[in-house]
Structure 1
Amino acid sequence: MIVQCKVKSIEPLASHTYQILLQPQDAVDFKAGQYLMVVMGLKDKRPFSIANAPSQANGLLELHIGAAEHNAYAGEVIDAMRSALANDSLIEVDAAHGDAWVKDSERPLLLIAGGTGFSYVRSILDECLAQAWQQEIHFYWGAKDKEQLYVMDELTDIAKQYANVTFVPVLEQADDNWQGKTGNVLQAVHQDFESLADYDIYLAGRFEMAGAARTQFVENKQALVERMFADAYAFI
């Protein structure tokens, strides 16, 4: 469904990463883990995960967009959002899409994010907490450096508040003061779990990351391919 949206705000989250709040002119129904497409042209629609939970949306759609200097695909969207905000004009989005939304299940959850893939699993986490899910929820977030873990303190507090939530940040590049895990986020998961047979696994990141996770976890950790969910799996 094509919907006209007002750009309510654009706020920096980290270097070249922005939170955008959109107010659709018509109500948009979505499920935690779905995405929208920003309409940039007649045949140019660019997908971004919806970062907020449906039960907490309050009529708004939240996006987290990483737009490094070399990433024109995302950078052009940020520029369009800024222009709409400055000129009080509207942005078109096509929403909602994706089949990798959180499934009603009593199985424990493993949420894995690479970079701004965080927005996908954040929506799922918040919805599960809002619905008072009781099963274990393990949240792994991998990033290049600590700055890119832009809500690490908030997630750490959530894990302290909810006994069923575990949060594990993983840095590719860490200084001597870093006390957490380093390296690849999939490697961290591989080290921490003997078996993933009982888990529902939700992940977002680059396509190659999603592909590697499916191969590694099914072959080495007994994960069930039908219980692994990612938007990338519709394309690879």
Structure 2
Amino acid sequence: MSIKCEVTSVEPVACHTYRILLKPEQPVPFKAGQYLLAVMGEKDKRPFSIASSPCRDGELELHIGAAEHNAYAMEVVEAMRAALDNGRTVEVEAPHGEAWVRADSDKPLLLIAGGTGFSYVRSILDNCLSRGVSQPIFVYWGGRDVCQLYANDELAELAAKHANLTYVPVVENAPADWQGKVGNVLEAVCDDFVSLSAYDIYICGRFEMAGAAREMFSAEKGAERERMFADAFSFI
């Protein structure tokens, strides 16, 4: 459905990444892991994962990676900022997506994000922790460098607080004092797990990353294809 939203905040968080908060004029019934469409024109609607959880106060949070060369995303950030500055509303369409968290499953969860794909993972993680799920939750977040892992400290604190949560950051270009893993996030998962047959796996990143994960995990780690979830699968 189409919803008008007040833009309450446009905040840079790191590395050309922006956190945007929207206050919808009416409640938006969505599931953790779904996305919305930012309406830029009648035939121009751009998808972004909803980073907030439906268990929160109704505010919609977006994390948009918008480097200068990425006009597709940067134009949305600029439109949101203009609406904030001028007191105008923006239009979104929601909810969309089939890769929402399966709350009726008691399987351990493996949540994998590349870059701002973390927004998808954050919604699912927040929802699971707020519901008090007891099964193990593993979060693997990959980026080109540490700057891209803009919620690294937040996730480390959550993992310290919740015994069933394991957080593994992975960067391709690591500084000398980096304590996490170095390299490709999918390879890090393969290194750490003998089998993924028992897991519900949720993935958000570039389409080629999601496709590679599905093939790699099913072929090499026994993951069940029907228990792997990514909206990218609808397009590849």
Q: Taking structure 2 as the reference length, what is the TM-score of the superposition?
A: 0.99
Percent identity of equivalent pairs: 64
Aligned to 1:113, the other structure's residue is in SS state strand
Match of 2:181 in 1: 181
**Aligned residues, how many?**
235
Which whole-Å CA distance do the structure 1 matches of 2:125 and 2:180 have between them? 21
- The superposition leaves residues 98-140 of structure 1 with CA deviations (integer Å, 9 ceiling, x where unpaired) of 0100002100000000000000011000000000000000000
Match of 2:94 in 1: 95
Match of 2:166 in 1: 166
**1:97-136 correspondence to structure 2 within 5 Å:** 97-103=96-102, 104-136=104-136
Higher alpha-carbon deviation: 9-18 or 217-226 = 9-18
CA RMSD in angstroms comes to 0.5
The Cα shift of 1:152 comes to: 0.7
The Cα shift of 1:196 comes to: 0.2
Stretches of 4+ moved more than 6 A in 1?
A: none
Match of 1:39 in 2: 39
**1:150-165 correspondence to structure 2 within 5 Å:** 150-165=150-165
What amino acid is aligned across from residue 157 of structure 1 in structure 2? E
What amino acid is aligned across from residue 60 of structure 1 in structure 2? E
What amino acid is aligned across from residue 210 of structure 2 in structure 1? A
Match of 1:83 in 2: 82
Which whole-Å CA distance do the structure 2 matches of 1:33 and 1:179 have between them? 29
- The superposition leaves residues 189-210 of structure 1 with CA deviations (integer Å, 9 ceiling, x where unpaired) of 0000000000000010000000
Which whole-Å CA distance do the structure 2 matches of 1:4 and 1:153 have between them? 33
What amino acid is aligned across from residue 71 of structure 2 in structure 1? A
The Cα shift of 1:59 comes to: 1.9
What amino acid is aligned across from residue 92 of structure 1 in structure 2? E
Which whole-Å CA distance do the structure 2 matches of 1:208 and 1:149 have between them? 20
Match of 1:222 in 2: 222
Match of 2:8 in 1: 8
**1:9-28 correspondence to structure 2 within 5 Å:** 9-28=9-28
What amino acid is aligned across from residue 72 of structure 1 in structure 2? A
The Cα shift of 1:151 comes to: 1.1
What amino acid is aligned across from residue 75 of structure 1 in structure 2? M
Which whole-Å CA distance do the structure 1 matches of 2:99 and 2:146 have between them? 28
- The superposition leaves residues 151-181 of structure 1 with CA deviations (integer Å, 9 ceiling, x where unpaired) of 1111001111110000000001001111210
Match of 1:71 in 2: 70
Match of 1:213 in 2: 213
- The superposition leaves residues 28-80 of structure 1 with CA deviations (integer Å, 9 ceiling, x where unpaired) of 11100000000000100000000011101x12100000000110000000010
Unaligned runs of 5+ in 1: none
